[in-house]
Amino acid sequence: MNKQLWLKGGWVQVNIYAPTYAIPHKCTGYIYCLPGRRLLDQLNEVFPGIVSEAKEFLPIKEGKMYSLREEGETVEFACLNKVNILFVREFEEGQTRGVGSKLGDKIYPYLHKSTIAVKLYLPFYTLTGNMHCSEGQRVSDVLNLTLRFFPITNVKVYPTVGSSLEVGFLAVNKSQVILLEEKIAPNPLEEESSR
């Protein structure tokens, strides 16, 4: 992670995936992350101790809009309606990773979370990876939070057309999730008894 970017803020290059033929299939460009904000904080317009108004549009600079045929159109500045975003990933992973991922003292309260393997179905994509739940939280609790985007880690992205992709982190727009399955790990005791 570029610690200076996280502390000082700056422009972060991202890939933004959209669901329909009416808007670009993918946009690559830069979004501005305020000092101390992770990508997820910026997308959800939250930061500890600061109350902010949720913004419906995400400003993007030096964007390249790709159609489903992978033809790119360059734009100097654009605003993408967040409701139309499927998921967002950093072009270079770890640019805005929060302090929770590091050992040692934290500058803000950090909650340890358990990981739950999930499979998500979105328009044009299937994702497999890990959701993160606080103690006592279920996957459905995370989906029912007021925040628009939630994190998935160790993700495999399967588009309906094209080749798959593996990334460490995605911010997923919960309003675009058609179905989410918890992937239950096999019980080793049941496997032994069936032999």
pLDDT at 50 over 80: no
Residue ranges of domains in the chain, CATH in brackets: 3-99+111-184 (2.30.30.100)
Q: Output the pLDDT for position 21.
A: 55
Q: Among candidates 136, 123, 99, which has minimal Cα distance to 173? A: 123
Q: How far is CA 38 from the centre of its chain?
A: 11
Q: pLDDT tens-digit profile of 53-92?
A: 678 899 999 988 887 666 778 889 988 899 989 999 988 7
User: What letter represents residue 9's amino acid?
Assistant: G
Lowest mean pLDDT among 25-29, 164-168, 173-177: 25-29
Q: How far apart, in whole angstroms, are the C-alpha atoms of residue 186 and residue 87? A: 29
Q: How far apart, in whole angstroms, are the C-alpha atoms of residue 25 and residue 122? A: 13
- For residue 57, give both structure tokens: 């549009």
Q: How far apart, in whole angstroms, are the C-alpha atoms of residue 103 and residue 165? A: 29
